[in-house]
Structure 1
Amino acid sequence: MPRITSGGPVEPAPAPSRAGVPRGGDGVFNTARAVGPVVGRGGELRRFRVQVEDGIELVAGDVALEIQGILAHPRSWGAHGRGRFQLVADEADFVIRIATPDTADRLCRESGFDTHGELNCETAEGVVVNLRRWTLGSPTFAGTPRAYRHLIINHEIGHEIGIRRHLGCPGPGRLAPVMMQQIKGLGGCRSNAFPYDEEGIYIAGPAVS
């Protein structure tokens, strides 16, 4: 288990460049001291903390507010009754960690996932986000790294709210489901970061293992 330390934002720092994404860190995490409002229209309330590994050019408080904004988006889970979410600084139902690739691999491996220095995962404690994906996005995603972060959070929170199986592409040219592992290929679909389309309809697809 990583050691956890408390710490809040000091001064904003830019996200690291491609060359500046460190491979590993010391496994010590800073916890965002921010507290946010409840977002979402219905369903179970889940409180979450955000932690960022030491030694990377991200500020825990800034990351926490960005994630809160993702969960509050009108096409995300909270807007359609699948759950309510609240950013907290202390006792939480799950934690979202931004970790260097080596640390992410170790945390994910403890839950039985082989993430190859590239992928994110959902563990018993919450979500582990690979710093490389948070910073650089994905070569299969037609959008900026910031837009890709919506996919990261929505996909892993989908697991957190009980969606265990991944989905496949529903058909050529259609939006890829958020529960599709889009980084592994789109199968003819268009990349997409949200569980719902602009009409509020859930974007489904065939179940895959």
Structure 2
Amino acid sequence: MTAHKATRAGRRRRGGPAHALAGGRKGRLWGGVAAIAVLGAAGFAAVGWTSPGGGTDHAESAPGAPPARVGSPSPTPSPSSTPSSRHRPSASPSPEKIPATGPGTFTTASGTSAQVGTGKVLRYRVEVEEGLDLSAAAAAKEVERILADRRGWTADGHSAFQRVAGGTTDFVVKIATPGTVDKICGEYGLDTEGEVNCSVAHNVVVNLKRWLLATPVYAKDVTAYHALIINHEVGHFLGHGHAGCPGPGKPAPAMMQQIKGMHGCVPNVWPYDEQGRYITGPAVP
């Protein structure tokens, strides 16, 4: 579901690929974008938000680099869903209103988050390309929630995360226009075609188009798709490779390229289930 290429050097990478997800004109986004950061109008039973404490909540390779993979969008059946009891965002922007490219400079979210998880703490920054009507603070808050969720990577028992605004970092989450994503990922030999995300070196590069529009399966719960983007790309950073659908009617692994089709699986954006069991399937390239 993403384009993959270079990997982060260091002990936490286990040789997993780096990678890209799937989707304009210059300028600022219209004012409704900020609402995208809240929970979609319909929340899937399989992907609903849970806070770390419990209840429902907001929500080909370059030289010297491991193999990369590129994905492209494909229509998939709509999942069953249940209404959200909390936030209802305004309609998603049309693709024509999403800037095709930007300045390539970024605003870093200020402040420091609490540490979540146990084990070696991975420090990360959240950055949003300048010129977008998308708050770095709001984006950072959402990434924090995703990485803190008990169904996320902290469930492996040895991954801990803390968002910072400066100093040494292990990785950076960048939300950028399609053109800027293509430029960053292209430096590592990846062709993201203005559609997908990528994970290269210590950067998780999120395509604004996917952040705002998701994919057909998640079109009514864009916030859930944010979790899939972050969990999938950070999963590669941690060394996890792609997985296929384990069987009809079973939850799709977060490491599955769901943008290429669900193959009988049901939507799911989390690497672990509520009982702390890792959701995976057969290994795929």
TM-score, normalising length: structure 2? 0.66
**Aligned position for 1:147:** 224
**Aligned position for 1:167:** 243
Give the gaps of 5 or more residues in structure 1: 1-11
Q: What SS does the corresponding residue of 1:167 show, helix, strand or coil?
A: coil
**How many angstroms does 1:109 deviate by?**
1.4
Range that drifts further, 103-112 or 89-98: 103-112
Q: How many percent of aligned residue pairs carry the same amino acid?
A: 52
- 1:199 matched to 2:275? The reply is yes
Q: What SS does the corresponding residue of 2:131 show, helix, strand or coil?
A: coil
- 1:95 matched to 2:172? The reply is yes
* Aligned amino acid, residue 80 of structure 1: D
Q: Which has the higher contact order (CA 8 A, sep 6+)?
A: 2
- Tell me how far apart the structure 2 counterparts of residues 196 and 146 of structure 1 sit (CA, whole Å): 18
Counterpart pick for 1:126 among 203, 215, 224: 203
- After superposition, give the CA deviation of every residue in 1:25-55 in whole Å (9 maximum; x if it has no partner): 1101111112101011x23210000110011
**Aligned position for 2:155:** 79
1:1-209 equivalences under 5 Å are 13-15=34-36, 17-18=93-94, 19-40=96-117, 42-91=118-167, 92-141=169-218, 143-163=220-240, 165-209=241-285
Range that drifts further, 107-116 or 65-74: 107-116
- After superposition, give the CA deviation of every residue in 1:137-163 in whole Å (9 maximum; x if it has no partner): 111337511111010000011011111
Range that drifts further, 117-126 or 13-22: 13-22
Cα RMSD of the aligned pairs, angstroms, is: 1.6
* Aligned amino acid, residue 187 of structure 2: E
- Tell me how far apart the structure 1 counterparts of residues 115 and 205 of structure 2 sit (CA, whole Å): 22
Give the gaps of 5 or more residues in structure 2: 1-32, 37-91
- After superposition, give the CA deviation of every residue in 1:91-142 in whole Å (9 maximum; x if it has no partner): 2111000010111111111122221211111111320000011111111337
Q: Which runs of 4+ in 1 moved over 4 A?
A: 12-16
- Tell me how far apart the structure 2 counterparts of residues 97 and 39 of structure 1 sit (CA, whole Å): 20
Query: How many residues are aligned here?
Result: 196
**How many angstroms does 1:14 deviate by?**
4.2
* Aligned amino acid, residue 170 of structure 1: P
Maintained 8 Å contact 1:29/1:51: yes
- Tell me how far apart the structure 2 counterparts of residues 113 and 192 of structure 1 sit (CA, whole Å): 26
- Tell me how far apart the structure 1 counterparts of residues 164 and 269 of structure 2 sit (CA, whole Å): 24
* Aligned amino acid, residue 261 of structure 2: G
**How many angstroms does 1:13 deviate by?**
4.2
Q: What SS does the corresponding residue of 2:251 show, helix, strand or coil?
A: coil
**How many angstroms does 1:20 deviate by?**
2.4
Q: What SS does the corresponding residue of 2:217 show, helix, strand or coil?
A: coil
